[in-house]
């Protein structure tokens, strides 16, 4: 069955093309550099062996009424909520996890495929606060969520919209999931993320997806990815299992993600933390296959350490870079799609600390060829806040990563030599034909002008430049084309479900 977007006529397609004009979108980053393997085969095997040993001896808890019984039915050793899983059983279950996952978008031109050396990016996730345009930290609102959804739609290096870009705290907590999914569907036409906080949230995400794409299309194609977090150490809780089951039954992607905070939720050991990440993520992915064989599942990795002085999380520190390199090497060996976390910082404002922590955090997952980077734009305060300025600055930093992870050109070397011969010793290349038709990358948001020009133009620092760009983009935002009937169906569904949920008379 075709999706609704594939059945539109010529006039509708022309309107859509006009709506998208000027919104240049980069496809997923095709990493052309070799993946970096930090370990030799013997040490790589030891990490995986430790993960298997954890699951066989310590086990992992599935705190859910039905999940332990489902594990028992496939041969796991179950005692209460504690599940111990032999490596052969685990490996057999993850054999059916797809090694390539396509996220279909409302606009087919935005559809992306995650696999191998391909990397897609999405914005921050989970921020209850916003560093607003007046530079004041505020509680996130629905308007903030809508603004960041618009910025993510316009961002040429963000392929996946939605998630908890900004937690709308002015919306009843029981209704927030409707906006977290509905706003990206109405304000963008990129792939989006689902809600996971309850059965209701997950079921409503699936229903909204079916409204957009059709029930049959959703059952046979992936249209939404949802973040299923493990309660590290070694616990899958009922709420996350409920969401995992709903999405897996519906053939929608679950991102099974441990949240390692080395020294707090894992031992003070880089290798030990990696083994826990592997054990937790693989059990979530394996459970998805018990629910529906072949359901799309993504290996999640969030790697942090904590300060042994204060207990505060650290970002941009060396050990998480190594963790991502190790995990990436193991995941590539297993042939799975994997997710990491992006340009994040514990800085409270988008200052120098935010810049160096964010860029330092990229190297492990980029060299390890992660497929989906969440938290890739805007995050400050360790994820407790999202910044307009940092969002647009991070989008440009991702654009630079696109250029870094290309193979250098070799197709113009004859012309290079001819130009060198022409210019000769002591000359310059500014006026040469080869120079005029080629250029090195020029960041749009960085200031390379003279001190005097910078002074005369207002002495703007990077934070102010970012705020100005974010304001400009919001002013210039144009909603992508959406069929009027579909738009009404989405808004009517959100309104009806809100009434039902608030009245207490509704289906889970």
Residue pLDDT, tens place only, 407-465: 999 999 999 999 999 999 999 999 999 999 998 999 999 999 999 999 999 999 999 99
pLDDT at position 21 is 41
Tokens of 363: 């190297």
State the average pLDDT over residues 92-105. 98
pLDDT at position 311 is 86
State the average pLDDT over residues 456-483. 96
Helix (H) or strand (E) holding 101: strand 101-103
Q: How far is CA 493 from CA 176, 178, 298, in A?
A: 14, 9, 29
Q: How confident is the model at residue 507 (pLDDT cuts 50, 70, 90)?
A: low
Residue 140 has a CB neighbour count (10 Å cut-off) of 24
Residue 485 has a CB neighbour count (10 Å cut-off) of 9
**What pLDDT digit, counting tens, does each position of 36-59 carry?**
999 999 999 999 999 999 999 999
Q: How far is CA 42 from CA 38, 56, 90, 116, 257, in A?
A: 12, 21, 21, 23, 26
Distant-in-sequence, close-in-space partners of 99: CB < 8 Å, separation ≥ 6: 115, 335, 336, 337
- Whether pLDDT at 4 is above 70: no
Residue 42 has a CB neighbour count (10 Å cut-off) of 7
**What pLDDT digit, counting tens, does each position of 7-39 carry?**
334 444 444 444 434 457 899 999 999 999 999
**What pLDDT digit, counting tens, does each position of 147-201 carry?**
999 999 999 999 999 999 999 999 999 999 999 999 999 999 999 999 999 999 9
**What pLDDT digit, counting tens, does each position of 311-335 carry?**
888 888 999 999 999 999 999 999 9
**What pLDDT digit, counting tens, does each position of 329-382 carry?**
999 999 999 999 989 999 999 999 999 999 999 999 999 999 999 999 999 999
**CA–CA separation, 323 vs 334, rounded Å?**
17
Distance of CA 287 to the CA centre of its chain: 22
**391-403 b/e (C-beta count within 10 Å ≥ 16 → b):** bbbbbbbbbebbe
Instruction: Tell whether pTM > 0.85.
Output: yes
**Omega of the bond leading into 233 within 30 degrees of 0 (cis):** yes
pLDDT at position 506 is 63
**CA–CA separation, 100 vs 28, rounded Å?**
14
pLDDT at position 14 is 42
Residue 141 phi/psi, 5-degree rounding, is: -125, 175
pLDDT at position 312 is 86
Cβ atoms of 112 and 120 within 8 Å: the answer is yes
pLDDT at position 508 is 65
State the average pLDDT over residues 137-148. 98
Distance of CA 420 to the CA centre of its chain: 45
E-strand ranges in 296-455 read 297-300, 302-306, 313-314, 338-341, 372-374, 379-380, 385-387
Q: How confident is the model at residue 227 (pLDDT cuts 50, 70, 90)?
A: very high
Instruction: Report the chain's terminal Cα–Cα distance, integer Å.
Output: 28
The CA dihedral of 66, 70, 76, 79, to the nearest 10 degrees, is: 20
pLDDT at position 310 is 86
Q: How many CA atoms lie within 13 A of 364 on its CB side?
A: 29
Provide, rounded to the nearest whole percent, the portion of the chain with pLDDT above 90.
91
State the average pLDDT over residues 117-145. 97
**What pLDDT digit, counting tens, does each position of 64-84 carry?**
999 999 999 999 999 999 999
- The widest CA-to-CA distance across the chain, in whole angstroms, is 83
pLDDT at position 429 is 95
């Amino acid at each position: 069955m075709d999706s609704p977007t594939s059945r539109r006529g010529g006039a509708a397609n022309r309107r859509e093309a006009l709506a998208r004009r000027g919104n240049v979108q980069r496809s997923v980053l095709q990493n052309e550099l070799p993946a970096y393997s930090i370990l030799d085969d013997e040490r790589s095997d030891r990490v995986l062996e430790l993960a298997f040993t954890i699951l066989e001896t310590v086990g992992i808890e599935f705190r859910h009424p039905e999940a332990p019984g489902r594990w028992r039915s496939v041969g796991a050793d179950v005692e209460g909520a504690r599940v111990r899983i032999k490596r052969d059983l685990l490996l057999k279950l993850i054999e059916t996890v797809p090694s390539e996952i396509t996220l279909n978008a409302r606009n087919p031109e935005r559809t992306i495929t995650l696999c191998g050396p391909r990397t897609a990016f999405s914005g921050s996730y989970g921020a209850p606060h916003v560093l607003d345009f007046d530079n004041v930290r505020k509680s996130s609102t629905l308007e903030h969520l809508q603004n960041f959804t618009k910025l993510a739609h316009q961002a040429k290096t963000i392929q996946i919209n939605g998630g908890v870009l900004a937690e709308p705290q002015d919306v009843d907590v029981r209704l927030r999931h409707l906006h977290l999914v509905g706003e990206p569907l109405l304000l963008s036409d990129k792939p989006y993320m689902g809600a996971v906080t309850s059965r209701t949230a997950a079921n409503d995400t699936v229903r909204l997806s079916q409204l957009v794409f059709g029930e049959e299309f959703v059952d046979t194609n992936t249209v939404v990815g949802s973040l299923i977090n493990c309660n590290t150490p070694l616990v899958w809780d009922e709420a996350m299992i409920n969401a995992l089951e709903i999405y897996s039954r519906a053939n929608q992607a679950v991102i099974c993600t441990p949240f390692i905070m080395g020294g707090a939720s894992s031992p003070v050991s880089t290798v030990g933390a990696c083994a826990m990440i592997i054990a937790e993520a693989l059990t979530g992915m394996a459970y998805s296959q018990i629910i529906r064989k072949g359901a799309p599942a993504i290996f999640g990795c969030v790697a942090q350490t904590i300060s042994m002085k204060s207990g505060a999380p650290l970002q941009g520190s060396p050990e998480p870079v190594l963790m991502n390199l190790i995990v990436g090497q193991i995941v590539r060996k297993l042939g799975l799609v994997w997710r990491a976390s992006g340009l994040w910082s514990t800085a409270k404002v988008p200052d120098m600390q935010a810049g160096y922590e964010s860029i330092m955090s990229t190297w492990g997952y980029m060299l390890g060829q992660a497929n989906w980077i969440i938290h890739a734009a805007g995050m400050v305060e360790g994820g407790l806040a999202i910044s307009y300025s940092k969002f647009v600055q991070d989008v440009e930093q991702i654009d630079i990563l696109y250029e870094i992870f290309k193979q250098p050109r070799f197709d113009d070397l004859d012309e290079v030599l001819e130009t060198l011969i022409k210019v000769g010793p002591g000359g310059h290349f500014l006026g040469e034909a080869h120079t005029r038709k080629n250029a090195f990358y020029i960041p749009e948001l960085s200031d390379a002008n003279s001190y005097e020009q910078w002074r005369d133009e207002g002495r703007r620092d990077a934070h102010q430049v970012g705020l100005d760009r974010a304001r400009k983009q919001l002013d210039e935002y144009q909603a992508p084309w959406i069929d009027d009937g579909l738009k009404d169906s989405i808004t009517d569904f959100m309104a009806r479900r809100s009434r039902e949920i608030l009245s207490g008379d509704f289906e889970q």
